[in-house]
Structure 1
């Protein structure tokens, strides 16, 4: 099981953090221009089904990439809308310009902007930003904090909660394949409360101590790198459903404590 929470500053950590906040500020500006706007015109990226993208997604990522080109040109970039740009520094920014585009389309404030940073081993820093609510959840490089209109508060995942007492969140009730849904159901049948549909905001609530478990499947790296960094900085645990590092995407199990993670992992694995 992996629960990496790097608190030792890497070289240039203060500048990295400053740049990350500039990325989040730029993405706020671009996304809020079209949130709840009649000018919003979603496109469908999928050849079958519905995978929406909007000009807000594209403009948000373009704005962040422009800042990185100017201020961190040696770093790599992985972004949902504009793909991979190789770097030379050993650090890679992982960007989801709007995580939860369906919520964005519906006017629901559960979407977010995800800004993660990987080194060779995985996530070292992340921001989960909710522009409409003015909530910024930050984790890694010595920080675990929520910055909001009410001020700055420490992020701390909830401890001492058993599976029977836990609140579990996932985005889609279907939760992946039929086998993955069956594994999820083994856990959901044992918890106190299950809620759906918050995308990245569920991980932010876990880091803030309001949610105990987030279990998902079918995710991409840009969906998970920033949430992993934030949850781990807050004292939580994130792996895939086999207890391995999860920053490559796929299945995700996030828990507020090692004990709760072990309970949920055993059920997901069918033990």
Structure 2
């Protein structure tokens, strides 16, 4: 398998180390340059540090793997015609970063043809790094697994923002009111806690591939499932349903069908 060649994983860790130094240096800085870009329904915050990190990461990838494609949140797609594509989110949780709240992370993943084979998310302030190899997922050096919750009524669900949903009140009646409780404002950490077995599911909409590419193999190798609301591969559309196991995932997908 490709990931049995450790050069890709080692390189992803190197990228996270470099990005983490920058994030740590500028955390709680009062000199951040902030702008907004429109993304579908939402205005998204961008800082000069988002752009700086992506530029540095792109340069490193081009130097190490000059034939590989790159897709980044801030600079778009560079197509080299390769089977390999590196996907970058320089800061997931930019609003948290710009507000001095430590719930943000650097995300990088590697896609081979149609499959995301490697994901790494580094949260430098929390000193938490989630990643996968060819058969397991880890938090730092500790192997992690999803939870064994089987009933929606016992499940904790995470989501970043209720404004993602056009039909929030209907979703609330159909799903959110039927779970144990829901945690808002999670960004990437919701997915990571799902992989770790603390949160049981994540439901989101208006999601770009760089928002979730890195967590897809981490959740999968930890024993979970992550797809679109119609059960397709991550990135097929802008919806996401991640869950700890097939039972919860199937329960949620059935309830989400009416919202497609």
Structure 1 equivalent of residue 51 of structure 2 = 58
Cα deviation 1:65-105 (Å, max 9, x = unaligned): 11101111111100001111113430101100001111111
Question: Shift of residue 246 of structure 1?
Answer: 1.6
Is the partner of 1:189 in helix, strand or coil?
helix
Count of matched residue pairs: 258
2:114 matched to which residue of 1?
Answer: 121
Matches within 5 A, 1:54-93: 54-93=47-86
TM-score w.r.t. the length of structure 1 is 0.89
RMSD: 1.9
**Structure 2 contact 147–200 (Cα < 8 Å) conserved:** yes
Distance in 2 between residues matched to 1:16 and 1:49, nearest whole Å: 34
How many angstroms does 1:117 deviate by? Answer: 1.1
Query: Structure 1 residues 248 and 221 mapped into 2: Cα distance closer, same or farther (>3 Å)?
Result: farther
Aligned residue number for residue 154 of structure 2: 165
- Tell whether the 8 Å contact from 1:170 to 1:216 is kept in structure 2 after alignment: yes
Residue equivalent to 1:266: 254
For residues 177 and 98 of structure 1, what CA distance do their matches in structure 2 show?
26
Q: Following the alignment from structure 1 to structure 2, what is the Cα–Cα distance between the partners of residues 52 and 165?
A: 35
TM-score for both structures, normalised by structure 2: 0.93
Shift of residue 181, structure 1, vs aligned partner:
5.9
Structure 2 residue 153 is matched with structure 1 residue 153: no
> Quick one: structure 1 residues 257 and 12, their matched pair in 2 at CA, closer, same or farther if it must change by over 3 Å?
closer
Q: Which stretch has the larger CA shift, 130-139 or 152-161?
A: 152-161
Structure 1 unpaired stretches of 5+: 1-8
Q: Which has the higher contact order (CA 8 A, sep 6+)?
A: 1
1:191 corresponds to: 179
CA contact (8 A) 2:3 2:9 kept: no
SS in 2 for 1:50: strand
Asked whether the 8 Å contact 1:241–1:251 carries over to 2, the reply is yes
Q: How far did residue 245 of structure 1 move? A: 1.1
Q: 1:109 aligns with which of 79, 86, 102?
A: 102
Alpha-carbon offset, residue 124 of structure 1: 0.9
1:9-48 mapped onto 2 (5 Å cutoff): 9-10=1-2, 13-46=5-38
Give secondary structure in 2 for the equivalent of 1:164: helix
Whole-angstrom CA distance in 2 between matches of 1:166 and 1:103: 26
Gaps (5+ residues) in structure 2?
A: none
In structure 2, the CA distance between the partners of 1:46 and 1:207, relative to structure 1 (3 Å rule), is same
Aligned residue in 1 for 2:88: 95
